């Protein structure tokens, strides 16, 4: 068996793992995740690079979860000739029906805006590229096959697939593949996908897996520990109360899927506990609105505490003035609100979507606060804000950063170092080979060392992008 890491090797985006096995006398090729690289020009170039295989030769794709950095290039793969099935959970599929069309839309919107600015002589830098169309997304959505958690399915002769709950976002899964290659005994390959943080809001704790021969594990926060949930709540309360007292707005860039619902849950819960006053919250992202509805649809997949809080809100809806914005005009009207608003909008790394307009509008005023709640990849606008730049270029124009920028780390949908180690302790014996992916170089190498030192696991490798490993 050979694995080639096409992305998320030494970085956190572009999760794409290519696997080759020999079954029934011939080589077979499949992929686990097919995500987009995100964050700046370098990422755009990687999304466009030629593939080391023919898409028509790929037999199937196993998708761990809906986040675009794991799923976002699937329409491109299909448009390039991949005709096989894509396996995922039903919640992941429902989320993708929202996320993939939006991704296509954002790419075209960026391109059109750049072309407009170019005509006016206001655009500097390279032109963005649209990777696929809305029609190509529609075609891709026809190739999915859903599988419930814990349901085992033979997806090719000699390959059995089973999903387990990863506790990361709605529908997120750990993929367990039992592969019996010609002339060898069965091998269990486990792809962690993104692993959620134990004891956090909304999602249940990640399922433990007891055995693996080959393990591919994420390491987004492999070199650090998250702040505790009570500390995170204290920080949120402090920033929101101070900003409201100063007459400013709070802008929260948030991934539409998962993070937005998590923040809503926390804010509602803090109002419920009497720690925050009556709040006026605008969720300005059509995708976040749809994802929140979907979260309600999959209510039984949420953890118990979140179910209780949402039940409370149903009976006390006047305690929080929560509005979901549908059209662009309503979104623009938010520009007129100079204080007292909490605006939650996407994208989470501030690179696209309505959040960019809200930042352009709110960054220049010192009474406003921007709360960064998610991982900001190198090269993204969010990362530059976290790094305290004094000005940014938005829509080809310069904007001064006068608002205060707060990073609240404890809300991560990813397990921290202790959480990841805890999850790994679920394996009864060390996997024969482990590959540490989905982490920036420092994080991946620190976590690999941790696995060797603290768990005494013998074969832990931080793979290099585009290298092929025999396992």
Minimum CB–partner distance for residue 405 and Zn ion (Å): 23
**CA gap 13, 412 in Å, rounded:** 16
Omega cis (within 30) before 347: yes
Task: Return the closest-CA partner of residue 73 out of 18, 113, 127, 114.
Answer: 18
Minimum CB–partner distance for residue 166 and Zn ion (Å): 9
Minimum CB–partner distance for residue 79 and Zn ion (Å): 23
Q: Which is nearer to Zn ion, 70 or 384 (CB)?
A: 70
- Listed as own residue / partner, the contacts of 122-125 with beta carbons closer than 8 Å and 24 or more positions apart are 122/396, 122/397, 123/396, 124/393, 124/396, 125/41
Minimum CB–partner distance for residue 76 and Zn ion (Å): 19
Tokens for 375?
A: 């991982």
Sign of CA dihedral 11, 75, 262, 393: positive
Strands (E), 35-105: 58-62, 86-88
Minimum CB–partner distance for residue 1 and Zn ion (Å): 25
Minimum CB–partner distance for residue 169 and Zn ion (Å): 6
Q: Which is nearer to Zn ion, 21 or 415 (CB)?
A: 415
Could you give the C-alpha distances from 354 to 106, 125, 360, 387, in angstroms and in order? 10, 21, 10, 22
Q: Phi and psi at residue 171, in whole multiples of 5°?
A: 80, -5
Q: Which is nearer to Zn ion, 67 or 358 (CB)?
A: 67
Footprint of Zn ion (CB under 5 A): 67, 194
Minimum CB–partner distance for residue 370 and Zn ion (Å): 22
**CA gap 444, 210 in Å, rounded:** 23
Helix (H, G, I), strand (E, B) or coil at 174: strand
**Residues near 113 by beta carbon (within 8 Å), at least 6 away in sequence:** 395
Minimum CB–partner distance for residue 255 and Zn ion (Å): 8
Q: Which is nearer to Zn ion, 70 or 354 (CB)?
A: 70
Q: Which is nearer to Zn ion, 17 or 67 (CB)?
A: 67
Sign of CA dihedral 342, 346, 347, 352: negative
Q: Which is nearer to Zn ion, 171 or 431 (CB)?
A: 171
- Evaluate whether 241 touches 276 at the Cβ level (below 8 Å): yes
Q: Which is nearer to Zn ion, 14 or 84 (CB)?
A: 14
Q: Which is nearer to Zn ion, 377 or 471 (CB)?
A: 377
Helix (H, G, I), strand (E, B) or coil at 122: coil
């Amino acid at each position: 068996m050979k694995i080639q890491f096409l992305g998320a090797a030494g970085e956190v985006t572009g999760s794409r793992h290519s696997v080759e096995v020999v079954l029934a006398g011939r080589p077979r090729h499949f992929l686990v995740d097919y995500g987009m690289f995100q964050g700046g020009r370098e990422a755009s170039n990687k999304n466009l690079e030629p593939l080391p295989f023919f898409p028509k030769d790929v037999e199937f794709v196993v998708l761990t979860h809906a986040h675009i950095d794991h799923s976002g290039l699937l329409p491109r793969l299909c448009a390039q000739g991949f005709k096989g099935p894509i396996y995922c959970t039903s919640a992941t599929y429902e989320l993708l029906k929202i996320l993939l069309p939006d991704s296509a839309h954002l790419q075209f919107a960026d391109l059109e805006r750049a072309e407009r600015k170019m005509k006016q002589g206001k655009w500097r830098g390279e032109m963005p590229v649209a990777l696929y169309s809305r029609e190509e997304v529609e075609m891709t959505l026809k190739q999915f096959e859903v599988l419930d958690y814990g349901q085992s399915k033979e997806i090719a002769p000699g390959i059995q697939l089973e999903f387990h709950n990863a506790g990361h976002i709605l529908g997120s899964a750990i993929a367990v593949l039992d592969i019996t290659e010609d002339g060898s005994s069965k091998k269990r390959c486990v792809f962690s996908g993104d692993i959620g943080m134990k004891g956090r809001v909304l999602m249940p704790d990640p399922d433990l897996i007891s055995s693996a021969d080959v393990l591919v594990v994420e390491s987004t926060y492999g070199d650090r520990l998250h702040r505790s949930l009570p500390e995170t709540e204290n920080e949120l309360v402090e920033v929101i109360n101070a900003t409201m007292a100063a007459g400013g707005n709070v802008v929260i860039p948030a991934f539409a899927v998962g993070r937005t619902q998590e923040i809503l849950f926390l804010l509602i819960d803090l109002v419920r506990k009497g720690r925050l006053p009556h709040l006026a919250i605008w969720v300005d992202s059509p995708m976040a609105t749809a994802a929140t509805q979907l979260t309600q649809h999959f209510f039984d997949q949420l953890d118990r505490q979140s179910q209780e809080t949402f039940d409370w809100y149903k009976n006390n809806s006047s305690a929080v003035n929560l509005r979901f914005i549908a059209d662009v005009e309503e979104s623009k009207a938010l520009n007129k609100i100079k204080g007292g608003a909490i605006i939650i909008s996407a994208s989470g790394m501030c690179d696209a979507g309505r959040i960019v307009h809200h930042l352009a509008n709110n960054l220049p005023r010192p009474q406003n606060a921007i709360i960064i709640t998610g991982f900001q990849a190198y090269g993204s606008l969010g990362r530059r804000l976290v790094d305290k730049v004094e000005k940014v270029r938005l829509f080809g124009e310069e904007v001064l950063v006068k608002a205060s920028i707060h990073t609240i780390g404890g809300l991560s949908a990813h397990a921290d170092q202790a959480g990841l180690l805890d999850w790994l302790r679920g394996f009864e014996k060390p996997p024969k080979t482990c590959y540490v992916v989905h982490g920036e170089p420092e994080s991946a190498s620190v976590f690999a060392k941790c696995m060797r030192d603290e768990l005494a696991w013998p074969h832990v490798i931080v793979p290099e992008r585009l290298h092929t490993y025999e396992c």
